[in-house]
Amino acid sequence: MKQNFQIAIDGPASAGKSTIAKIIAAKLKYVYVDTGAMYRAITLAAKRAGIPYQEEKEITNLLPETAIRFEPGTPVQHVFLNNEEVTDEIRSTEITKNVSLVASYASVRQNLVNRQRMIADSQNIIMDGRDIGTTVLPNAQVKIFLVASVLERAQRRLKENIAKGMTSDLKTLQADIEARDYKDSHRKISPLVQAKDAILVDTTGKSIEVVVDEITDIIRKKQ
């Protein structure tokens, strides 16, 4: 049986993965899956249940009763936790600060990786995250590792926050991004690392359109 087409986009926080992946998904009519949103949803589920983020066992017990669902939308995909929309709430400062810890738990990763593979099984897909090319979809036909300088990633976040009416400062954002990069790349299970067969794309100083064209070219050559 012919495998459906899978595109894996990995990279550090705020490198532009979801922005780029969404545009390419719309162009190719592929399904887009933001796996970071799934880790964020589990983190929010723990918060809602009053479970401290350090309690791996209690968070593990929560997994079977935690439904996560996506609905397409522009400019953002809608995320539902147990049928309640949590699209904005999963992007709060508290969830952003604690998601790396929750995402480091083996049980959480195993559960979400299974769900991600199930989604990718039956349709053409573009999936972004940290371990898609290395662990979730090791046979993906296209693997991209998207990076950008820390300063530029913090500047992009600052712009987004200002647009949302949130106050934040560049230095703090830069420190938060560095801390999350460190945790994501140093955890024991499926750390953030470029897959051997992934193509490195540096988005520093490039417009969204330029990056989309660059990646679209890579995809076309593999189709």
Site string for ligand DC, 156-185 (x = CB under 6 A): ------------------------x---x-
Residue 95 and residue 44 in contact, taking contact as beta carbons nearer than 8 Å: yes
Rounded to whole angstroms, the Cα distance separating 189 from 191 reads 6
Q: Among residues 45 and 220, whose Cβ is nearest to ligand DC?
A: 45
Nearest approach in angstroms of CB 40 to ligand DC is 6
Nearest approach in angstroms of CB 36 to ligand DC is 2
Does 36 participate in binding ligand DC (rule CB under 6 A)?
A: yes
Nearest approach in angstroms of CB 91 to ligand DC is 8
| Closest among 172, 194, 193, 176 to 184, alpha carbons compared | 193
Residue 8 and residue 127 in contact, taking contact as beta carbons nearer than 8 Å: yes
Does 22 participate in binding ligand DC (rule CB under 6 A)?
A: no
Does 105 participate in binding ligand DC (rule CB under 6 A)?
A: no
Q: Which segment (60-68, 99-107, 146-154, 201-209) binds ligand DC by CB under 6 A?
A: 99-107
Q: Among residues 38 and 219, whose Cβ is nearest to ligand DC?
A: 38
Does 129 participate in binding ligand DC (rule CB under 6 A)?
A: yes
Residue 95 and residue 40 in contact, taking contact as beta carbons nearer than 8 Å: yes
Q: Which segment (25-33, 96-104, 141-149, 171-179) binds ligand DC by CB under 6 A?
A: 96-104
Asked if omega into 64 is within 30° of 0 (cis), the reply is: no
State CA 27 to chain mean position distance.
20
85: which strand partners? 80
Does 12 participate in binding ligand DC (rule CB under 6 A)?
A: no
Figure out which of the listed residues 20, 33, 40, 198 binds ligand DC, where binding follows CB under 6 A.
Answer: 40
Measure Cα distances from 213 to 24, 25, 96, 107, 218 in Å: 9, 13, 30, 38, 9
Q: Which segment (72-80, 126-134, 161-169, 196-204) binds ligand DC by CB under 6 A?
A: 126-134
199: which strand partners? 144
Residue 85's contacts (CB-CB under 8 Å, 6 or more residues apart) are 78, 79
Q: Which segment (32-40, 48-56, 163-171, 211-219) binds ligand DC by CB under 6 A?
A: 32-40
Residue count of the chain, please give it: 223
Which residue ranges make up the site for ligand DC (CB under 6 A)? 13, 35-36, 39-40, 99-100, 103, 129-132, 180, 184
